[in-house]
A and B are shown apart, each in its own frame.
Chain A
């Protein structure tokens, strides 16, 4: 059973870099064609896809965040990470890592597995 767990600082200062890690258990992060994604939800707002990493195909980012986002993987730890630079209060949100079902590829690659989410607050 695939499990995802986010970790990282809960408080980041404005203009600094937000860094989060998602630890994957129950499945190898190197298995294709799965993608490993980050989604966020600002307080009182809806869900926003940040980006996804395909081990065999690189990263895809939301154009609205592309200039500030990097998603990478650490295969030795079976983790993938999010870095968001130059953060402002607008980046305050609950951040989720998520993945489609790696054992049943489905057209449209819906996110079937999610971490529990971690709140990141941007404040001085």
Chain B
């Protein structure tokens, strides 16, 4: 079973700054199968990025994904107040079919 480890656990930044979130897989994976979600309290998670770098429909171009192999990154430029949330990376695989990282909380500094 592939494990996804996200870092940092909590990231404290100010609006206008850039956020860089990391997701590391325990073994090399296909970038086609790596996605990122944003999750706010009381709301359903929202798909941001799929295929490691493709933005989902309606997602601002301030959000970008990159990476390959075992290391993947979600970058959020020019943070806005509504960006502060928990972010999860997720892998599509064999067993289990879907695996989530433990999440990174992006909080206002």
Contact = CB atoms under 8 A, between A and B. Distances in A.
A107 to B, nearest CB: 4
Contacts of B32: 107-108
Contacts of A62: 96-97
Interface of B: 1, 32-35, 37, 39, 43-47, 50-51, 54, 56-57, 88, 90, 92, 95-103
Taking chain A's interface residues, is the majority helix, strand, or loop, or is none over half, making it mixed?
A: loop
Contacts of B43: 116
B9 to A, nearest CB: 11
B45 A96 contact: yes
A52 interface: yes
A23 to B, nearest CB: 15
Contacts of B35: 108, 110-111
A64 B98 CA distance: 12
A117 B41 CA distance: 11
A48 B47 contact: no
Contacts of A52: 97-98
Interface in A41-74: 46-49, 51-52, 60-64
A111 B103 CA distance: 16
A49 B50 contact: no
Nearest to B45: A114
B98 A37 contact: yes
The 4 closest A-B pairs by CB, nearest first: A114-B44, A49-B98, A110-B35, A108-B33
